[in-house]
Amino acid sequence: MDWRDQGILLAVRHHGETSVIIEVFTQEHGRHAGVVRGGTSRKIAPILQPGAQLDVTWRARLEDHIGSFAVEPLRSRAAAAMSGRIALAGLNSVTALLSFCLPEREPHPNLYHHSERLLDLLGQDEIWPLAYLRWELGLLEELGFGLDLSACAVTGATEDLAYVSPRTGRAVSSAAAGDWADRLLPLPPCLRGQGPAPDAEIAEALRTTGFFMENRLAPSLGNRPLPEARGRFVDLVSRPR
């Protein structure tokens, strides 16, 4: 069994004295793990940095074996990731969430391309938090937990949408919310692609997407807690820059 693909390196862990096991989110084969022989060597270890874009060839005797990877670098994102706290925390959140959420060996080509474009924006701190928010919305949509923010779930109105129902993930207008407003989640304009999207507003929107990750997505994956890397990124976006 063998195939060749391109992918984003998500995680690396030691395997024996000189090898590592890597997880790669590939374009055609989804999240896939494999052993890299000599992965701790001076030649290969610098290549295996989370977020790196790799050309990978996977081989195994049988399809259900973990198999081994031969890797070639396409582009490193290490310099961009180290350009500032937002970039590094954002990269860690993306790779941790993909490793956490994606079923092994299940292709998600649309999410792959969206993730690749997002990571290529690393270092552009003025636009990155909003791009990341769009990515999280796409992640929820891809995995079956998308939000419907097009119209009020109660009245059908498309104006004055101010809340999100935690039960349905649908928008609710201010008028329709009534006495239930304090039980609903905020719907800042940036969550619908509107307005200038300051960081404080993006952080508020990320708390709304985070609710659905914690209370819908995570339970579907065995009720594991969300990666701490995401919380660190949201905290960082919340702080004044």
Query: Phi/psi at 155 (nearest 5 deg)?
Result: -110, -15
Is residue 170 a part of any domain in this protein?
no
Is residue 120 a part of any domain in this protein?
yes
Domain boundary among 75, 106, 124: 75
**Same domain (yes/no): 108, 50:** no
Is residue 119 a part of any domain in this protein?
yes
Say which residue the tokens 């909003």 belong to: 130
Given a contact cutoff of 8 angstroms between Cβ atoms, the answer to whether 62 and 92 are in contact is no
Closest CA to 51 of 113, 4, 96: 96
Is residue 167 a part of any domain in this protein?
no
**Same domain (yes/no): 64, 86:** no
In the sheet that holds 161-164, the strands lie side by side as: 148-152, 170-173, 161-164, 185-186
DSSP 151-211: EETTT---SSEEEE-TTT-EEEEHHHHGGGGGGSEE--GGGGT-S---HHHHHHHHHHHHH
Is residue 157 a part of any domain in this protein?
no
Question: Could you give the angle at which helices 128-142 and 85-101 cross, rounded to 10 degrees?
Answer: 0
Given a contact cutoff of 8 angstroms between Cβ atoms, the answer to whether 185 and 172 are in contact is no
pTM over 0.85: yes
**Same domain (yes/no): 28, 115:** no
CATH code at position 216? 1.20.1440
Taking phi over 0 as left and psi of -120 to 50 as alpha, with beta for the rest, 144 belongs to: left
Predicted pLDDT at 63? 81
Distance separating alpha carbons of residues 134 and 114, to the nearest angstrom: 9
**Same domain (yes/no): 109, 54:** no
Is residue 128 a part of any domain in this protein?
yes
**Same domain (yes/no): 48, 130:** no
**Same domain (yes/no): 53, 96:** no
Domain boundary among 56, 75, 94: 75
* Number of compact structural domains in the chain: 2
**Same domain (yes/no): 16, 84:** no
Given a contact cutoff of 8 angstroms between Cβ atoms, the answer to whether 67 and 34 are in contact is yes
Structural domain containing residue 144: 79-149+187-238
**Same domain (yes/no): 96, 41:** no
CATH code at position 28? 2.40.50.140
Predicted pLDDT at 65? 86
**Same domain (yes/no): 139, 225:** yes
pLDDT digit string (tens) for the chain, length 241 residues? 899 999 999 999 999 999 999 999 999 999 999 999 999 999 999 999 999 999 999 999 888 789 999 999 999 999 999 999 999 999 999 999 999 999 999 999 999 999 999 999 999 999 999 999 999 999 999 999 999 999 999 999 999 999 999 999 999 999 999 999 999 999 999 999 998 899 999 999 999 999 999 999 999 999 889 999 999 999 999 988 7
Residue 169's contacts (CB-CB under 8 Å, 6 or more residues apart) are 145, 146, 147, 148, 212, 216
**Same domain (yes/no): 95, 144:** yes
Is residue 198 a part of any domain in this protein?
yes
**Same domain (yes/no): 20, 115:** no
Given a contact cutoff of 8 angstroms between Cβ atoms, the answer to whether 27 and 109 are in contact is yes
**Same domain (yes/no): 144, 206:** yes
Predicted pLDDT at 195? 85
